[in-house]
Structure 1
């Protein structure tokens, strides 16, 4: 066996490998481990934001380089026997003890190389030094670079071929010390600062490893090329890292100086009161929380961007992430930000704007601005990409949701931000994406108890990491505002309680380490409204209202609380000769996106009188963040905040002429009698009772609206919200159901508190149950859902539904996108499996082979439903959770439906 201390033996350990079919004479089949470690260290040093860790670049380079030291083990090196380091260890054995290299890395760092690494840690002037526990925090951060923290079990303190690995581990540490020459890291006096470093280092290491592992940016080199480690690092690794960071879309950017709202939004000649307030009001030093409560149409988003730019220009943030409740609202916000985001940065900078949600790559606008990896590295882009250079996102950032959060400006669903505080793989990447940014959350009232507790954890975590946040809402209760403020101040380690008291509306609350300031704001001129509330007791009366308005050529909307009610009402109106548009969440994505575009075109700000003469029956998908404007609005009874949101879609814009000129909202609701019985809501609106589980909340909403007779904004908004939310007002007949709903809310909050990451515990495996993202959900579902992909047999093959709707999606390179556009989400109790005939199994298997590996493996979560065209439309068959056969129908107008009745 060769001498294990031979210097050049270390060069033959591989860190990355590819098949040996590559001609070794012209290209290397391995990338030496030391080269990969130095590549990743170079990326970490040069990444914008790395200075936030407070480490000298030599200390940071040394720490991050050690992330893959666990690959110096037989268990890892034997994964590719052809690349076994025979020059160091002789012939590859037939068997080795299996182990994970991240776990082995922690073992080498924390135990085997403890003495060799001791010079990296200094001693304070007071005489105290690093404890083994505190050192372990840093080793966990760099070793757990595969998405979750690792630990050393007692049975892993084995002789896992330590005799083979130890000399090379010691030699590697010695070489890294010679290369980086890091000054000793002083011990941390504050646990808060050490915790922040631990979490930040974990995120930065993964980010650097992802970039440093891309072969296109870091070509494989031969062992001889790293014989001079220092030469490789200074002459190759740093140069390649600089280019890779640019190509990844993460090049340094410069924030433009704040010059007032007119600089950001030249079209705003007269700022609204909330915009003017945030243009000049003082912001506290350090991380800040700004809560903006104002009416729909008041310009809250622009006001928030003004505040965000001020925080960025003052050096407290390097970018922005905007979180919204749904994919549809995120898509709409992406379009709005595409126009304005460049003004946040100097003209010479090229900041990335990314869309971050599970279906971002299905959005044509976003896909159109994705730049190829090599384009961002060019001095001049092709002429046909000049516009994309202004609104740009690298393919590396945009092609993966977790990476999209790393863009300088991101827009996505709130779920993407919440996963930063859940024990899911690569949560630290999301944390890195949010770190140093302003977190802007729109519609922050729209959360159930489970998500609200997650939001509390996110604010606490974000503040502890030094971030600022801006929250927007038209309807936020004082209690929720207090809870969100308390969480942010807890993250800032402020133990002194601060009570909020102002009940004005509109209102801006500014929170910092020193306290909170509540700033009443005038309403935007022209938004003061008095919308009459007319309650109707029977569905037929709503149908008559819709029919009458439709006959006059009005733009009419009826918001129903369940998809089944949406479809039933649309079909009932059709029988009366009234054609309707239908919009809900149970359409295949290709059809839903098309409907969304048509709805925005017809009923948006620029909709013409002729186009607007239509009836839309929709679910809750239209109640938030979509800029829609109707002449007549009907809605099922819902909690007060949602009624107010829906009312914001009535007569939203100024128009010269409306065929129905009346500020009135029609609410389908049972009479809020003084002594309602337990079936008060379910008797009239059974679907509503299933969606909104607290009948007392619905009863108080109906009672208050009946008493007031109108929605007076802004003067009475706060009063309406607080009175409807008064939990002490519960009639006897609804007490049992209300108590049950409250109990479920407490249970949901408890479950959320158990699920969220404990910042104080650090990046430790025993602090939470770490899972894949598909297993730890950001939303608590009473009924689990499955993803159903619609397919059609054509010419002996299974085609994605979307490929039949859009011919371009039939191309082989578009199949992955076509399948994603063919998805619809369905409750598992209604459809749990989709058996296929023996004659179709081969074709179905071939279709599923086009899916990703984890989608294929998750057969209980991703179903393939075959549709067949019949005289009645497209039909399919499956089984529900009770293993009963069920029939399915699907069409572009009504969406996905489970057929009623027993199948024969």
Structure 2
């Protein structure tokens, strides 16, 4: 006889249909009444009987057990994956119904509720009928034979949203909240659900089942509430629950990640249909701890004393000291834009700032992570070594993940060079969107999951992927939401990548993520725009862009918070305080002989070409000329381009680091240092020929620089490769003076003639404006001339050119059209502008490939 259930009953062992004084149980499980308060026991099922996972065998993992598994994982990841700032917002949002962590975990656990449907259970109809019995058998048998016709059912994620939305409405939630929460967890397969998709699914009665199946879904949800000791739906103020878009995005990411971990049978073995649910809740919590621990997902815990000297064991330079002071004075979230010459220590300044921001409760707080983004794989490798050393000094058990397509080869080479006997387990691999080769990488830190690592370094593409409308984009965004994001060489990105970056910065501001941008130098208008993009979304409304400040000298630091933004001057170290570089012009036809003449008395020269074909031509000519020299006069020749295989490139990079890299951290006396860098590692005479990989990818020091003409900011970056590590007394006397020799350019009456195809790398208008400033200049002073040169090349004012250069205006118009085209291409695929009331579906509408982070053919 049916009876009314007034409160959560206990769980004694009881036979089907036996009445109790208060409520009744079905197969030992509490049953809650339908909307009219009454139901027939003959229509009830054991809530352990719907299968969630079967694999290839017959032992089921009940759907309710998978929900419990996912809840247990989500409850752990709530603290590990979500920033304290967003956690506090969750707490504020969920206060009307109870404790935020438990309710967020509950919603994550509901993600597969749509599996409790005839459509999904019929995937293994034989097992489903055996487990669920006659109440469900009829509807399951009416489904098509999937083995014969293939899967044509409504995806269970869609059915989850169909079931959860009305259920929350019945509990008292308003329409918008119910729809948003249903969509957030229903989209865990990568796409938020369009209204027409949901409408079609609601009309598909055969797939979702009748009111009987609807009632089972409600009962399963309420059983989860009971098992986790959450309030009954009638006891929560659902009408007061309102969840904004930023929290919905993070909830979606948390749901997917928790599901991935909970779906691994190695973490959660199949329980069988006779599982004791009360005992299983505790067992699932223990297994969740073990699973997360096996992943190496250790929270970053920077030292409590986060000042530069304590972190690095050396006195900070002025710029580093100024960054340190700002991180201690300002509450977060915070944006820093640091502009300083190469070799000034911007990377270490960023790491100190990241550690301080991650530690400070006013900004992110304990549990925050860090992602360090660089323009190329080579710069990522270099940053990986520095970041690993930094983390290893205070938390050696925390692994730093390297995320780019050549990471596996680099990591193996690192182990081989260190002569480690253990077999590499490349769990620190992510192939920029493609599955990694290594099993561990495929299982976890691959594709969208790479950004979830607490500490990671990789190409900027990983960040830009979070700004593209693509499958599981919300997982990438969630991975960034709990981190300090550092982006190096911001000046190096073309309009396409810069447009993508602008939109990502808006989303990072929207999520309250602290951002540190590093650059040799930026045009004033670009600096102001970067700050405005981030700050506008942090505040939740558009901020009028301030007039670009060109009065603050170089080097400088710009900071922004929710309250203010300002650019302040800083200072450079003695090494960069007064660098006067002589500018020479060397014709192409004289280059080889000129190079050999320069290195004949000794010394090391870098030659940077803009095109691989020019590298090949110079290499061939040098090899022929060197072969004719006496053996004792032959310089060592190195060649490096981005087109080398990963293995060959790693080998060349290692040779260059040994020969021209920085001295050891513990400097020996000068005499031994001379021996180490001269006789043992640094060749007495050498020529290194390469492409732009020499510009910023490697921390190398040469005696003299030869470069093709490049945009002024690129030339300034390249100039930082000369006399980078000091030691003037160790250099050949004839190379003691800083020198830049520009090649690959021919003066004509109509303007400079550049090597063929240069225009495919750098815009003609920028190249001509740069040459107009340098053609008669005998010297470049850094830092004194840097800002002026940058503003003249990239600013709005025209550059004085010889009268014969008649098509400069035409080149400028061509450049504007190219930039407009690149920006349009980026806007077609990037995320919508973040808004508090933005429909979630906009994030994955017309989704494409997340790998479209660069224009076709652009190097990494």
Q: Same fold (TM over 0.5)?
A: yes
Give the match for residue 609 of structure 1.
678
**Is 1:174–2:174 an aligned residue pair?**
no
From the CA coordinates, give the structure whose radius of gyration is larger: 2
**Is 1:291–2:337 an aligned residue pair?**
yes
TM-score by length of 1: 0.76
Structure 1 portions without partners, runs of 5+: 123-129, 370-382, 786-824, 826-904
Give the match for residue 770 of structure 1.
847
Give the match for residue 568 of structure 2.
519
Aligned-partner SS, 1:715:
coil
2:603 pairs, out of 549, 554, 558, with: 554
Deviation sequence 1:166-200 (CA, Å, 0-9, x none): 3432332232233342464666798xx60111111
1:690 pairs, out of 755, 760, 763, with: 760
Q: Distance in 1 between matches of 2:639 and 2:463?
A: 31
Aligned-partner SS, 2:48:
helix
Preserved contact between residue 604 and residue 703 of structure 2 (Cα < 8 Å): yes
Q: Distance in 2 between matches of 1:549 and 1:404?
A: 47
Q: Distance in 2 between matches of 1:515 and 1:343?
A: 35
1:206 pairs, out of 232, 256, 262, with: 256
1:236 pairs, out of 252, 270, 283, with: 283
Q: Distance in 2 between matches of 1:271 and 1:108?
A: 55
By how many angstroms is 1:422 displaced?
Answer: 0.8
Give the match for residue 321 of structure 2.
276
Give the match for residue 873 of structure 1.
none
1:704 pairs, out of 773, 798, 820, with: 773
366 and 237 in structure 1: CA distance in 2 versus 1, 3 angstrom threshold: farther
Q: Distance in 2 between matches of 1:4 and 1:529?
A: 88
By how many angstroms is 1:552 displaced?
Answer: 2.6
Bigger strand share? 1
Give the match for residue 820 of structure 2.
746
737 and 768 in structure 1: CA distance in 2 versus 1, 3 angstrom threshold: farther
672 and 461 in structure 1: CA distance in 2 versus 1, 3 angstrom threshold: farther
By how many angstroms is 1:470 displaced?
Answer: 0.5
Deviation sequence 1:552-607 (CA, Å, 0-9, x none): 33211110111111111101111212663210011221111111111222221247
Give the match for residue 69 of structure 2.
39
Q: Distance in 2 between matches of 1:274 and 1:643?
A: 22
TM-score by length of 2: 0.80
Give the match for residue 142 of structure 1.
185
**Is 1:658–2:731 an aligned residue pair?**
yes
Preserved contact between residue 352 and residue 392 of structure 1 (Cα < 8 Å): no
By how many angstroms is 1:290 displaced?
Answer: 0.6
Preserved contact between residue 309 and residue 344 of structure 1 (Cα < 8 Å): no
Deviation sequence 1:206-229 (CA, Å, 0-9, x none): 11111111111111111111xx43
Preserved contact between residue 701 and residue 722 of structure 2 (Cα < 8 Å): yes
> How do 1:827-842 residues align onto structure 2 when only pairs under 5 Å count?
none
Give the match for residue 457 of structure 2.
411
708 and 768 in structure 1: CA distance in 2 versus 1, 3 angstrom threshold: farther
> How do 1:498-577 residues align onto structure 2 when only pairs under 5 Å count?
499=546, 500-501=548-549, 502-536=551-585, 538-577=587-626
**Is 1:246–2:293 an aligned residue pair?**
yes
**Is 1:265–2:334 an aligned residue pair?**
no
Aligned-partner SS, 1:686:
coil
Structure 2 portions without partners, runs of 5+: 1-25, 27-39, 95-99, 431-438, 628-635, 664-675, 800-804
Give the match for residue 667 of structure 2.
none
> How do 1:92-241 residues align onto structure 2 when only pairs under 5 Å count?
95=145, 103-110=155-162, 112=163, 114-118=165-169, 130=174, 132-151=175-194, 152-156=197-201, 157-161=203-207, 162-163=209-210, 165-180=213-228, 181-182=230-231, 184=236, 194-225=244-275, 228-233=276-281, 235-241=282-288
Q: Distance in 2 between matches of 1:343 and 1:328?
A: 23
By how many angstroms is 1:259 displaced?
Answer: 4.1
Aligned-partner SS, 2:351:
helix
By how many angstroms is 1:121 displaced?
Answer: 5.1
Q: Distance in 1 between matches of 2:429 and 2:300?
A: 13
Give the match for residue 70 of structure 1.
114
Which structure is richer in relative contact order (CA contacts within 8 A, separation 6 or more)?
2
Give the match for residue 352 of structure 1.
399
Q: Distance in 2 between matches of 1:392 and 1:360?
A: 6
By how many angstroms is 1:405 displaced?
Answer: 1.6
By how many angstroms is 1:498 displaced?
Answer: 5.2
Give the match for residue 805 of structure 1.
none
Q: Distance in 1 between matches of 2:567 and 2:842?
A: 41
355 and 746 in structure 1: CA distance in 2 versus 1, 3 angstrom threshold: same
Preserved contact between residue 13 and residue 84 of structure 1 (Cα < 8 Å): yes
TM-align CA RMSD: 3.2
715 and 728 in structure 1: CA distance in 2 versus 1, 3 angstrom threshold: closer
Q: Distance in 1 between matches of 2:600 and 2:108?
A: 69
Q: Distance in 2 between matches of 1:366 and 1:217?
A: 32
1:639 pairs, out of 711, 715, 727, with: 711
Q: Distance in 2 between matches of 1:366 and 1:187?
A: 58
By how many angstroms is 1:439 displaced?
Answer: 0.4
Preserved contact between residue 487 and residue 518 of structure 2 (Cα < 8 Å): yes
Instruction: Out of 476-485 and 84-93, give the one that drifted further.
Output: 84-93
Aligned-partner SS, 1:487:
helix
By how many angstroms is 1:143 displaced?
Answer: 1.0
By how many angstroms is 1:696 displaced?
Answer: 2.0
Deviation sequence 1:670-729 (CA, Å, 0-9, x none): 3667x635xx43xx411322311x212111111212344222111111111111213542
1:588 pairs, out of 645, 649, 657, with: 645
Q: Distance in 2 between matches of 1:273 and 1:330?
A: 26
Q: Distance in 2 between matches of 1:592 and 1:580?
A: 15
Q: Distance in 2 between matches of 1:608 and 1:207?
A: 49
By how many angstroms is 1:252 displaced?
Answer: 4.3
Give the match for residue 478 of structure 2.
432
1:735 pairs, out of 806, 809, 814, with: 809
Q: Distance in 2 between matches of 1:426 and 1:284?
A: 34
By how many angstroms is 1:614 displaced?
Answer: 1.6
Preserved contact between residue 536 and residue 542 of structure 1 (Cα < 8 Å): no
Q: Distance in 2 between matches of 1:662 and 1:258?
A: 42
Q: Distance in 2 between matches of 1:185 and 1:557?
A: 69
705 and 440 in structure 1: CA distance in 2 versus 1, 3 angstrom threshold: same
37 and 296 in structure 1: CA distance in 2 versus 1, 3 angstrom threshold: same
Instruction: Out of 632-641 and 91-100, give the one that drifted further.
Output: 91-100
395 and 184 in structure 1: CA distance in 2 versus 1, 3 angstrom threshold: farther
Instruction: Out of 663-672 and 561-570, give the one that drifted further.
Output: 663-672
Deviation sequence 1:625-657 (CA, Å, 0-9, x none): 411111121010010000011111111112232
Give the match for residue 667 of structure 1.
742
Aligned-partner SS, 2:338:
strand
Preserved contact between residue 250 and residue 407 of structure 1 (Cα < 8 Å): yes
Aligned-partner SS, 2:457:
strand
By how many angstroms is 1:535 displaced?
Answer: 4.1
**Is 1:779–2:779 an aligned residue pair?**
no
577 and 255 in structure 1: CA distance in 2 versus 1, 3 angstrom threshold: closer
Aligned-partner SS, 2:205:
coil
189 and 169 in structure 1: CA distance in 2 versus 1, 3 angstrom threshold: closer
Preserved contact between residue 604 and residue 628 of structure 1 (Cα < 8 Å): yes
Count of equivalent residues: 736
Preserved contact between residue 164 and residue 182 of structure 2 (Cα < 8 Å): no
